[in-house]
Amino acid sequence: MTPSTTDPLDWIRAQLHRAPDRLGVETDLGRRYTYADLEDEAARFAQLLNEHGVARGDRVLVQIEKCVESLTLYLGCLRLGAVFVPVNTANTPAELQYFANDAQPTLAILRPDDAPGAQALRDVHSIRATATLAAQHGGSLGAALASANRYPDPGPMDGQLLGSLIYTSGTTGRSKGAMLTRANIASNGVALASAWHFTASDVVVHVLPMFHVHGLFAALSTTLAAGASLRFENQFDVTRTIEHFSRSTVFMGVPTHYTRLLQSPLLTRDATRSMRLFVSGSAPLLVETHERFERQTGHVILERYGMTETLMNTSNPYAGERRAGTVGMPLPGVHIRLAKADEAEPIGEIHIKGPNVCAGYWQDAEKTQAAWTADGWFKSGDLGSIDERGYVSIVGRAKDLIISGGYNVYPKEIETELDALPGVLESAVFGVMHPDFGEGVTAAVVPQSGAVLEEAQLLTALSTVLAKYKCPKRILVLSELPRNTMGKVQKNLLRKTYEHLYARS
């Protein structure tokens, strides 16, 4: 029986009816939660939230370390009808204050060590209380859990009620709160479970953070929708992750996870024999990584494409060719189109429509209107192409398009050629103001271990495969590229760092 696509709580209800004793989560601390345990703890969290003044529709701001309690707290918010607002644990108190001022939460839940700094949050007039939470029922909220009553099952809820408010990464300015409805969350979980052939027998190695849509929705929702189970790790550790592969079936990670796994001699075909699926997302996966992983393990990584505002949009096929360098085809119910200034151009901005697309930006009608077309499509800001078989390829962000000497230059094309050169581990191409060309095509490269890269040699090599206007004016050799917590290269920081690179002396 297919679970409801309007409410994620139906996945838990279905398991309580069919198999309440089925294992739902096994933690890195050896704790085991059946589906009945998950439901019970979620019900108690819902009651505690209610006692702290949280009602249906209220926001709950959460900045805590990843633990199984962060999962059941999220489920507790859904049970109460509250809106889960997770915040990156790396965010500073000043950044947390921004999110609090914007989201106007009723309750803020922090790490125990952050409790002294909670006083500043009380200046936000909406916050009625603060609490703390940590693993193994730590913190004030965790300590009260055992004696808490169970909040009753609310029954069916309107799918258009907000389930979560997720703030964008803010690489182009202040973060915006994407309003994800319960129907957004549920429909995407069901679509992924179907596309990736999930069953109740699956065991997912979960090493992703719970403040990002990859870990909170792509991994968690897909697992719950199928009644499968999680091996829930507080953080990514190469050795522990590979050890889990021998008794698991699915791994979801970011490209950085895969490059680090490939550095371990423990990653072998034998170590991954019981695995059936490896998924990558949140940042582009290098073709070299894709091919090397297949050679070393025999598994072909499945790359997909998602966004904070839309959850998952496309996926390479489970049964079929998983094309390296592409993100596959639209998921069932999701529609993709390319907006082009010239129909003869193969590249355009990706527009998205479907049940996965968020309801807009929190308390920002102007940015919401700007991000949607008049006929209801979400403007992703990503530039892409679609081949004759329907495979989507991402060539970069619209904001990353470089206009040099009047020519459009797409960074992805240059990065592909740079990454193929001997000794280059990875690259990033970006535009910097140039007195003659408007923008100067600029590249940053990271050498492979032990390799020595020379700018002149790299430029010469590119000149044989790229038109002159596409060739970088400069190639900078760096020890690493700046990234956010999900491994996405922050080109805005590169542009800022080298903004005066071509200034006239």
Segments making up each domain of the chain, as ranges? 9-184, 401-497
Q: What is the pLDDT of residue 285?
A: 85
Half-sphere exposure of 366 (CA within 13 A, CB side): 0
Residue 6 pLDDT > 80 = no
pLDDT tens digits along 18-36: 999 999 999 988 899 999 9
Residue 395 neighbours by CB distance under 10 Å: 21
**Residue range 354-370: mean pLDDT, rounded:** 96
Instruction: Please name the residues in contact with 365: beta carbons below 8 A apart, sequence gap of 6 or more.
Output: none
What pLDDT sits at residue 502? 92
Domain 401-497 fold is GMP Synthetase; Chain A, domain 3 (3.30.300)
- The chain-wide mean pLDDT, for the chain, equals 93
What pLDDT shows up at residue 4? 56
Residue 171 above 50 pLDDT? no
The per-residue b/e assignment along 106-115, b for 16 or more CB within 10 angstroms, e otherwise, is: bbbbbbbebe
3-state secondary structure of 217: helix
pLDDT at 172: 47
Q: Is the model more confident about 90 or about 372?
A: 372
pLDDT, tens digit, for every residue of 191-244? 999 999 999 999 999 999 999 999 999 999 999 999 999 999 999 999 999 999
The whole-number average pLDDT for the span 248-259 is 93
- pLDDT at residue 118 tops 80: no
Which of 285, 316, 299, 298 minimizes the C-alpha distance to 251?
299
Radius of gyration of the chain from its Cα atoms, rounded to whole angstroms: 23
3-state SS string for 267-302: CCCCCCCCCCEEEECCCCCCHHHHHHHHHHHCCCCE
At residue 1, the pLDDT reads 39
Do the strands 424-434 and 348-353 form a parallel or antiparallel pair, or are they unpaired?
A: unpaired
Alpha helices for 64-107 (secondary structure H) = 68-80, 93-103
Q: Does the pLDDT at position 3 exceed 70?
A: no
End-to-end CA separation in angstroms for the chain: 70
- Please state, in angstroms and rounded to a whole number, the distance separating the CA atoms of residues 395 and 5: 32
Q: What is the pLDDT of residues 325-353, one digit of tens each?
A: 999 999 999 999 999 888 888 899 999 99
Tokens in use for 99? 């999110």
Q: What is the pLDDT of residue 170?
A: 55
Share of the chain above pLDDT 70, in %: 98
pLDDT, residue 2, reads 47
What are the angstrom distances between the C-alpha of 490 and each of 71, 169, 486? 29, 10, 11
- In whole angstroms, give the CA distance from residue 290 to residue 255: 9
Q: Residue 437: is its pLDDT beyond 60?
A: yes
What are 119-160's pLDDT values in tens digits? 778 777 889 999 999 999 999 999 999 999 999 999 999 999
Residue among 43, 9, 69, 14 nearest 150 (CA): 43
Distance of CA 47 to the CA centre of its chain: 30
Asked which of 119-128, 168-177, 262-271, 465-474 is least confident by mean pLDDT, the reply is 168-177
Locus of tokens 């990670």:
253
- Measured from the Cβ of residue 268, the count of other Cβ atoms closer than 10 Å reads 14
pLDDT of 463 strictly over 70: yes
Mean pLDDT is lowest, of 248-252, 399-403, 453-457, for: 399-403
What pLDDT is attached to residue 5?
Answer: 67
Asked: is 9-184 a CATH 3.20.20.140 domain? The reply is no
